[in-house]
Amino acid sequence: MRIAGKGLVDRQAPVSFRFDGHTYQGFAGDTLASALLANDIRVVARSFKYHRPRGVMGAGSEEANALVTIGSGAAQDPNVRATVQEIYEGLEARPQNCWPSLTVDLLSVNDLAAPFLGAGFYYKTFMWPRAFWEKLYEPVIRRSAGLGALSHQHNPDAYEKAFAFCDLLVIGGGPAGLIAALTAARAGADVILADEDSLFGGRLNGDVETVGGMPGAEWAQSIVDELEAMPNVRLMRRTTVTGAYDQGTYGALERVAHHLADRGGQPLECFWRIVARRAILCAGAIERPIAFRNNDRPGIMTASAVRTYLNRYGVAPGRRITLFANNDDAHRTARDLVDAGVHIAAVFDSRRDVPESNAYPIYRGAEVCNTSGRRGLESVTFRTASGEDKVETDCLAVSGGWNPSLHLTCHMNGRPQWSEAIQSFVPVEGMVPGLDTAGACRGTLTTHGALQEGVAAAQVALEALGIAFDKIDIPEAEDAPYRVSPLWAVAGKGRAWLDFQNDVTVKDVKQAAKENFASVEHMKRYTTQGMSPDQGKNSNVAALAVLADATGRGIPETGTTTFRPPFVPVSIAAMGAGAQGAGFAPQRFTTSHAASVERGAPMIEAGLWYRPSYFPAPGETTWRQSCDREVNMVRNAVGVCDVSTLGKIDIQGPDAGAFLDFVYTNMFSTLKVGRTRYGLMLREDGTVMDDGTTARLGETHFVMTTTTAAAGPVMRHLEYVHQCLCPELDVSMISVTEQWAQFAVAGPQSRALLNALVDEDINDDTWPFMGCGDIIIQGVRGRLFRISFSGEHAYEIAVPSRFGNGLFRELTARAEALGGGLYGMEALNVLRIEKGFITHAEIHGRVTAFDIGMERMVSQKKDCIGKTMSERPGLNGPEREQLVGLKPIGPVKQLTAGAHLFEKGAAPTRENAQGYTTSVGFSPTLDGFLGLGFLRNGRARHGEEVMMVDHLRNLTTRCKVCDPVFFDPEGGRVRG
Amino acid sequence: MAELLAKSPCEGLLPKEVDGLTLSEAKRATMTSLSPYRGQEAVLSDVLKTEHGMALPRPNRSAGKEGARAVWFGQRQVMLIGPDPAVSLADHAALTDQSDAWAVVLLEGEGAEDVLARLVPLDLRREHFKKGHTARSQLQHMMVSITRVGDARFQIMAFRSMAKTLVHELEIAMKGVAARRAS
């Protein structure tokens, strides 16, 4: 019910929205919760486990009951707290976890089964039979218990991540936070003030108070106006600081556009990482409920929430309101309501010494012990010394006292301290380095105290920052003492709810204690108290007070569970902003990309790179046709392939040769200028790391090539070796992968092709096999290497990348004129398998130089990385699986990679496995499948028949073991 | 014989303009990595000064001006951008041509810091990251070099092959900043 003349909502700006299929009106400035209450909607949600009807309980981000789903389809947003969601024109909210509807929820049968569903129910019940868990129990439980659901579609919303830096981060914009920010800002510090609300002011917006001679909300606005005008202040509304991390880093979730009908291109949320030299936590406190029988009925709310709905939103959540409290502060709720003309049916206080009033009946030493009402509160039963009585009421405001919101102080393992005075936990100094606390979150529960501490904390921060400051006047404010005496749970039968989020009752906690889950951390896991979106913000202290009572310990000894980030739920989409879809990783394109795509080449991902798989020619319908043609083209004419993605590392310095001797197994210091050598590199543990060719361009200048996949790791390895293992060597290295566009020109016609493009004559004298050097190609200075990965007479020609596109097109045209053309990754793979050349399919991180038959490349004349470790027993010998070639010999002609090898006639079981295949391909040159693989003692078994079994593809092929070099083993073609 | 045509890393991708923020490709320039040989830093700095007018920049600093700039680029590494390197530099440092290795873009306009704050985890506030300051860092998932070359002007260098992603990320961030301003 709306109260005329109350609240900060804009009565001139009506807003219509939909909830549960009906259209309602609210005002600009309303949350979904306040607007629903204004429309007398009481049942908003169904509870997690028992599907009990629930209403709005609080007015802040800690809300445990009023969770709804916003929107529909792919963008639907589940578990949104109605107390946080601002309404906008066209907002569509739906209740969740109910079926078929909010008012008639068939799954509320769970409630009738409650005696069986208590603490530890799952652990006790679903142990047997084992197979039933996955097939029956889990699906049923998942269907009946739970919160809102995701759409299971790709999320189309935009999210953002951002970084911010400041001298002082003030977390929370209530009285303490506002004055702390003002103190620091006036002194000239770079200040960020973040508050999770849309409106700064904290409790000042929900209470009737005077600060500095003006209404509290107005005072707050005046401070905000001053801060807003200062260039050194950043005000962050709707921003919840979610975590405190090392070195002054804080995570924060900004709800950028959840409140907008038209986002205007803005992201829905932004996840901030704020680095602050100092921080002040002014997060306030959360009012805690009292547990009593049926205390979860819609219409039962915290006392401060009732005040907030009245004073901030102009909404009375009932027409006959009652109050149940154990502290003086809560009586303000009754006073404010009476002042606004709302009927107070009764006030129950568990204490004897209670603030007086003649405006409503006060029951001293009274406890509410039960409630009734079908879909919402209709009456409460209370108990005094003289017995039990009943009062009709549609809204009960409850206050069990206040719990400081100290969560952030605990994020780095700090433990808070119990305060007898406020019957709650308070932070101690230094729990998070550089973070101070002020106001209610520190246990100071008066506005005056909050202002005082806000100024003091700001001054401490400014001193630490070395910033001079002027004295600041603390405005006059309310300073009535907060008097509380503990009351956690009202004794009696029935279910009294502690944790509304998880449907955990007093009985559950006692049951846990009885079954010896007496540690607070065990109790939490056994009962699920303190889990889910509210993370026990509403229930934690009360639950452990009940546990303390049940175990006969004091509360301080019982302790709290650990508060971990995030303080409020943070969507994964916000934390992973920018990484959706293609944003997951950068894309790397070669200079020939456009030309390859123009020719219809399917591009495959090779690390971050995109490389052409094959180049379909007219009439070709399968990749194999293209691949076979491309292989034949290279063997018989000439092929062109972009190999720019291979890592290229420029290595220079007087000690470059010595450095290479140390990182490679073989010798490089003896390599002649103008020559290239194949090199093998080991990891420190002696297994093969990478291979490639290294060219010597000058006395002190080498260029190393790495495989595409290992370009980064090898660069890192070289830096590590230089910086850590041999810093005495005068050598520099830098990646030149991106500088050079490099193309393989391979085949009998390769020399003819190149000679038509370059000025000098390429012949066996000027460019012998493994020769290298500078060359002018079409007026551009490039580099030419006579190396081959195909076994053919071949070159790799490199030009500065800006000419890559031009050269690629030129080479293509000329190759085609010579009866050749482009070849892709598939053909490249077949060509190298025919020659038995290895890739990372073979050197996959578990093989040694011995395994690939290159043990003689580990020079005995010098030391190198991995050498000693590679000589360990078990890494060399007949027990090793060694590189072999495989050819099908039976009726089945197919080979597959990843299959296992078995002795002829052996059962294809794990125990009998003798090795595996790593690379296979159909060789048009040799007209059959060829395979590379590792076979136990394989080099001694050439000629033997083995069985290849692919259990996944259900394929068994008889194979003959042979040398891994299938084609031109003498190497005549490469030199010819 | 036909000359090979040169293509810039961001050809067809830039320029972009969003609400007063501009992203453009820097004019093509010779870029040479200088890595001083052991104990040669001081001499190299002198030669650099004589030949190109700027001393060897300290870590996280750049020296020189538009057209001839030396940018600290990492441990024992400086990128000389603009002039063809004097031959005498090679006596004191390993010289490597990097002219084609990097996509170099300029982000300019009021709020350029806000754009970068969405992608780069560094404190780039004007009073902390001043004109001439430089850093190797990450931009979303890419490794980059960032230099403040003007009051509201940043030079950003990323691997040439990543030019498309670089422009894409920056454009999203620019639009994000513009949308916030408009609201």
Distance CA A435, CA A548 (A): 30
Residue B5 within any structural domain of the chain: no
B107 and B174 share one domain: yes
Domain A10-105: top CATH class: alpha beta
Nearest CA in chain A to B128: A165
Residue B36 within any structural domain of the chain: yes
Q: Can you give the pLDDT at residue A561?
A: 84
Q: Can you give the pLDDT at residue A147?
A: 79
Residue B73 within any structural domain of the chain: yes
- pLDDT grade for A333, boundaries at 50, 70 and 90: very high
Q: Tell me the C-alpha to C-alpha distance, in Å, between residue A974 and each of A672, A787, A792.
A: 20, 8, 5
B87 and B148 share one domain: no
The nearest CA of chain A is from the CA of B62 a distance in Å of: 19
Does A583 sit within 8 Å of B140, measured CB to CB? yes
Nearest CA in chain B to A656: B94
B80 and B136 share one domain: no
B81 and B106 share one domain: no
DSSP string covering A825-871: HHHHHHHHHHHT---TTTSSSS--TTTTT-GGGS-SSS--TTHHHHT
Chain A residues lying within 8 Å of B94, measured CB to CB: 650, 652-653, 732, 734
Query: Does residue A123 surpass a pLDDT of 80?
Result: no
Residue B114 within any structural domain of the chain: yes
Q: Tell me the average pLDDT across A38-59.
A: 93
| CA atoms in the 13 A half-sphere facing the CB of A1 | 15
Nearest CA in chain A to B97: A739
Q: Are the beta carbons of B31 and B80 closer than 8 angstroms?
A: yes
Interface check A569 vs B, CB under 8 A: no
At A906-964, the pLDDT tens digits run 999 999 999 999 999 999 999 999 999 999 999 999 999 999 999 999 999 999 999 99
At A924-937, the pLDDT tens digits run 999 999 999 999 99
Query: Does residue B1 surpass a pLDDT of 60?
Result: no
B76 and B118 share one domain: no
Residue where one domain finishes, among candidates B71, B97, B123: B97
* Least CB–CB distance from A163: residue in B75, B121, B141: B121
Q: Tell me the average pLDDT across A764-780.
A: 95
* B50 class by beta-carbon count within 10 Å (0-12 exposed, 13-18 middle, 19+ buried): exposed
Q: Can you give the pLDDT at residue A142?
A: 67
B55 and B120 share one domain: no
* Least CB–CB distance from B77: residue in A734, A800, A807: A734
- pLDDT grade for B3, boundaries at 50, 70 and 90: confident
B169 and B104 share one domain: yes
Q: Which residues contact B56 (CB under 8 A, 6 or more apart)?
A: B34, B36, B41, B44, B45, B48, B63, B70, B78
Nearest by Cα to B156 from B177, B139, B141: B139
Interface check A736 vs B, CB under 8 A: yes
Q: Tell me the C-alpha to C-alpha distance, in Å, between residue A669 and each of A37, A662, A666.
A: 83, 10, 10
Same fold, A593-645+739-832 and A877-975: no
Which CATH architecture describes the domain A647-735? Answer: 2-Layer Sandwich (3.30)
| CA atoms in the 13 A half-sphere facing the CB of A264 | 11
Q: Can you give the pLDDT at residue A443?
A: 97
Which CATH architecture describes the domain A877-975? Answer: Beta Barrel (2.40)
Return the H-helix or E-strand segment holding A544.
helix A540-551
Does B101 sit within 8 Å of A806, measured CB to CB? no
- pLDDT grade for A145, boundaries at 50, 70 and 90: low
Distance CA A200, CA A34 (A): 18
B21 and B53 share one domain: no
- Tally of domains in chain B: 2
* Least CB–CB distance from A578: residue in B38, B75, B140: B140
The nearest CA of chain A is from the CA of B89 a distance in Å of: 14
Which CATH architecture describes the domain A159-285+404-465? Answer: 3-Layer(bba) Sandwich (3.50)
When the pLDDT of each residue in chain A is averaged and rounded to a whole number, the result is: 94
Fold of A287-400: FAD/NAD(P)-binding domain (3.50.50)
Nearest by Cα to A613 from A848, A781, A307, A823: A823
Residue B4 within any structural domain of the chain: no
Chain B residues lying within 8 Å of A778, measured CB to CB: 1-4
* A877 class by beta-carbon count within 10 Å (0-12 exposed, 13-18 middle, 19+ buried): exposed
Chain A residues lying within 8 Å of B172, measured CB to CB: 578
Nearest CA in chain A to B76: A732
* Least CB–CB distance from B97: residue in A609, A653, A739: A739
pLDDT over 90 percentage in chain A = 89
Mutate to test the interface with A, among B3, B18, B27, B96 (most CBs of A within 10 A): B96
B171 and B122 share one domain: yes
CATH number at residue B45: 3.30.70
At A596-611, the pLDDT tens digits run 999 999 999 999 999 9
Token readout for A278 is 């100092």
Residue B128's domain spans which residues? 16-27+100-182
B82 and B39 share one domain: yes
* Least CB–CB distance from A650: residue in B93, B96, B121: B96
Distance CA A201, CA A224 (A): 9
CATH number at residue B111: 3.30.1360.120
- Going from N- to C-terminal start, the domains of chain A cover 10-105, 159-285+404-465, 287-400, 503-553, 593-645+739-832, 647-735, 877-975
User: How large is the angle between the packed helices A447-465 and A175-186, nearest 10 degrees?
Assistant: 30
Does B5 sit within 8 Å of A160, measured CB to CB? no
Token readout for A49 is 């486990």
Fold of A593-645+739-832: Gyrase A; domain 2 (3.30.1360)
Chain B residues lying within 8 Å of A163, measured CB to CB: 117-118, 120-122
Query: Does residue A118 surpass a pLDDT of 60?
Result: yes
Distance CA A741, CA A626 (A): 25
Q: Can you give the pLDDT at residue A122?
A: 67
* Least CB–CB distance from B161: residue in A588, A780, A810: A588
Interface check A515 vs B, CB under 8 A: no
Residue A69 CA to chain centroid, in angstroms?
Answer: 22
Q: Can you give the pLDDT at residue A614?
A: 98
Return the H-helix or E-strand segment holding A345.
strand A343-349
B90 and B111 share one domain: no
Nearest by Cα to A745 from A706, A708, A797: A797
Residue where one domain finishes, among candidates B42, B70, B97: B97
Nearest CA in chain A to B127: A190
DSSP at A297: S
Q: Are the beta carbons of A299 and A395 closer than 8 angstroms?
A: yes
* Least CB–CB distance from A588: residue in B35, B122, B162: B162
The interface predicted TM-score of the complex, written ipTM, equals 0.97
B54 and B90 share one domain: yes
At A80-103, the pLDDT tens digits run 999 999 999 999 999 987 777 777
The nearest CA of chain A is from the CA of B64 a distance in Å of: 23
